[in-house]
Amino acid sequence: MAISLTLEERKQIGIEILDEVTRVCKILGIKYYLAYGTLLGAVRHQGFIPWDDDIDIWIFRDDYEILKKEFNNHCKPEFRLWSYENRDDYPYFMTKIVSLKTEVRERFLKQIPDFGIWLDVFVLDYVNDENIKNIPEEVKTLHQQWCALYHQSTIIGKIKLIGFNLIQNETSFKDFKEKPNTFSLKLMALHRCNTPSELVKSPTSAKSISKLFYKTEYFKETVMLPFEGKEYPAPARYKELLTQIYGDYMQLPPKWKRKLATHCMMIRWKDPNK
């Protein structure tokens, strides 16, 4: 019988995934950076934000293409990189690196085979005039990608997606017939830009997509920051990045906001008898 994981066990698995990413990136000669809440946690708490349990990283497009192609060839057997490009049943638009020792089921999605606790990989692409012009289409495509989760959703999830569709002008009911991969591929085509520029961005959510343009120079140099008793790479100008994303990032949110995300209904050790 599989046993549910405690918060501390989930955090430890997250560190194991991050350490494996660090090891493989060193083999491949590529760089990544702590991102979003993980970067904030490193700066403000020297580890996880106390009410958080996930890990995010940034990686530039060229290095990501190497990681995507080679990670599964160099990683230990208990890890795997999954993306919409290497499996048909993958529902997300962003790549995740998972621990196969664990099993995860999201609250409104059917269980995905060989899918466990994950690390999110946010790809950094340069920004040019064409990308900026495409932002409305990118937002629409993100909404369509959500609708396309219909086939992999539970009954309650299907109801929520229909409700989501009814309040979004960018989507139509025909989007429910498509696979998420269809829109993930379109999204990346709209987003991708390899021509160096003064700005970079990473696809996140429809609400923030037009705001989170970062100066490329923020990532020019790397520093090591403490995280759970170890050190991991971060953009040297992390203070400016965190201020842009979170404002006064050293200020703790009110107590009522200090809650662990509950988007997963099952997080457990993988049943060895399966």
The percent of residues above 90 in pLDDT, for the chain, comes to: 50
pLDDT at 205: 53
pLDDT at 206: 47
CA distance 195 to 192: 9
Average pLDDT, integer, range 248-269: 84
**Per residue in 43-61, pLDDT tens?**
999 999 998 888 999 999 9
User: Which residues partner with 267 through β-bridges?
Assistant: 104
**Per residue in 169-191, pLDDT tens?**
667 778 888 888 888 888 888 88
pLDDT at 213: 87
- Higher per-residue pLDDT: 66 or 175: 66
Residue 1 has pLDDT above 50, yes or no: no
SS3 state at 35: coil
Which of 246, 270, 130 is closest to 190 using CA atoms? Answer: 130
Average pLDDT, integer, range 51-78: 96
Which of 76, 96, 93, 35 is closest to 235 using CA atoms? Answer: 35
Which range scores top for mean pLDDT: 60-69, 187-196, 207-216? 60-69
CA distance 206 to 57: 19
